[in-house]
Structure 1
Amino acid sequence: MNLQNILNNELEILLTTTDNLSIDNKHIYANLVAQVFYYAKYSTKLLALAGVRTKDSRLTNRFFSHVKEETNHELLALRDLEGLGFSIDDFPELESTKAMYQTQYFQIEEYGAEALMGWILALEGYAIRSCTGLYQRANEIYGAKCTRFVRVHAEEDPDHFEKAVEQVSLIQNKDNLITNMKDSIKRYNQILIDCEKSGASIKNKIAA
């Protein structure tokens, strides 16, 4: 089975969870946006670390190009949250969110910069399969001022995914990145599950 098929198969459960997410619940959607902010803050740091650690100059160039593409994207999520009428302080960072990015430092240190490509493929692959539909759903309910992050990724990530696939083709041994890709999808799925569970409790906390 080729890498694209493995990715598509692994994404199915995540796409189902996304489709079932109660986007129409403002507190659930806002919590998702907040969690996106928390992990997106680390995207450029991880990419830069991988760019320094890899010994392949072609990968170095791509990692640092990706840094430029992702710079300040977390601020889009922050503005979406403010557009919804919330502060980032209203939404604590979930343990599942921390696991999403903290494990990537281990991947880079233990298995090399190339392993980070599994995380990148998971996120970029998920984006092209889900962001357009998610954006349409959220935009219809909350409007453009609350959906900047997902709109940008719906528009830009098809190109990002193609670049990621091209980058992966430069890596001879893909075992570690495939394992990381699968694990990253499971971790993101857990973030969505935790956001869904949080709706009522967060609403009560903010109202208190």
Structure 2
Amino acid sequence: MNHLTDFKKYSNSCLETLCKEVETFPWDNAFAYAHWLAQTYYYVSHSTRLLALGASRFPVAEDVFHQRFLAHAGEEKKHEFLALADLKTMGMEIDTLPEFSATRSFYQVQYYWIEHVSPKAFYGYIVMLEGLAVAKARWIENAVKPHFQQNVTRFLTVHANEDPGHLENAYAFISKLTANDKQRILLNFDQSLQLYSALLRQCEQAAQTTALRKSA
């Protein structure tokens, strides 16, 4: 497979590995899910900011990308507050759930990609997140719901419904890009996969630590 010409196939293949990690994550553990929601809140808080920054970096000659990033920013508006609302419904406060180093690395490096490499490279991050949501958001929602009496899956529900369209838009734009642009996107995609995997592991570790403290 040529990863540049068959980026969609390549990304789907790589996401399958991450999806297996998602399936083994302890979604029935309230502490693990709370940490996951908190980390989601932290990185999603930067989604519109990153998209706005990326939009500002496109020249007039690439207005189609400028407009797409602006439109996407509008579609992601205030989504971080959905995760925050789910946390509050669980009786959790964001101040008690610290941001992990993997989470910071996950989104902070996107500012570098946009400002020092190319705003188009940000599509690697987009495809990783939207692709995971398309593949697993509904699955996670169904895995979580039986363990809570109240609705604590607002964030998941919205992204299960909306992200398929976002992902196809991303693939459509990527297909028109040069080999150099696609290479940058691929590198960012791979990096984002690894960092998100680290984020999941840190959520599990933190949940175990929290459980031990509660039982002490």
Distance change in 2, residues 1:206/1:88 (3 Å): farther
How far residue 122 of structure 1 moved from its aligned partner, in angstroms, is 0.6
Counterpart in the other structure of 1:9: 13
What residue identity is the alignment partner of 2:126? I
Structure 1 alignment gaps of length 5 or more: none
User: Residues 90 and 206 of structure 1 are in contact (CA less than 8 Å); yes or no, is this contact kept in structure 2?
Assistant: no
8 Å CA contact 1:128–1:157 kept in 2: the answer is yes
Q: What's the TM-score once normalised by structure 1's chain length? A: 0.95
Q: Kindly report which structure 2 residues correspond to 1:118-197, keeping only aligned pairs within 5 A, or say none.
A: 118-143=124-149, 145-172=151-178, 173-197=181-205
Q: Distance in 1 between matches of 2:125 and 2:197?
A: 13
Structure 2: distance between partners of 1:113 and 1:127: 22
Alpha-carbon displacement from aligned partner over 1:95-118 (angstroms, at most 9, x marks no partner): 000001000011112211000011
Find out whether 1:21 has 2:25 as its counterpart.
Answer: yes
Q: Residue 154 of structure 1 aligns to which amino acid in structure 2?
A: A
Q: Which amino acid aligns with 1:185?
A: L
The structural deviation recorded for 1:35 is 0.3
Q: Does the 8 A contact of 1:115 with 1:176 survive in 2? A: yes
Tell me which of 97, 102, 105 is aligned to 1:99. Answer: 105
Q: Distance in 1 between matches of 2:144 and 2:9?
A: 29
Contact map agreement 2:138 2:157 (CA 8 A) in 1: yes
Q: Matches of 1:88 and 1:105 in 2, distance apart? A: 24
Structure 2 counterpart of 1:72, which letter? K
CA distance 1:105–1:207, change in 2 (3 Å): farther
Contact 1:36–1:74 (Cα < 8 Å) also in 2:
yes
Q: Which moved more, 1:72-81 or 1:165-174?
A: 165-174
CA distance in 2, matches of 1:81, 1:8: 30
Q: 2:69 — aligned with what?
A: 63
1:13 Cα offset (Å): 2.1
Deviations 1:103-149 (A, max 9, x none): 00111122110000110011111110111101111122225621000
Contact 1:54 1:112 in 2 (8 A): no
Looking at structure 2, the residues matched to 108 and 143 of structure 1 have their Cα atoms a distance apart, in angstroms, of: 42
Contact 2:39 2:103 in 1 (8 A): yes
How has the CA–CA distance of structure 1 residues 170 and 54 changed in structure 2, closer, same or farther, with 3 Å as cutoff? farther
What TM-score do you get using the length of structure 2 for normalisation?
A: 0.92
Give the deviation of 1:69 after TM superposition: 0.4
Q: State the alpha-carbon separation in 1 of the partners of residues 81 and 93 from structure 2.
A: 13
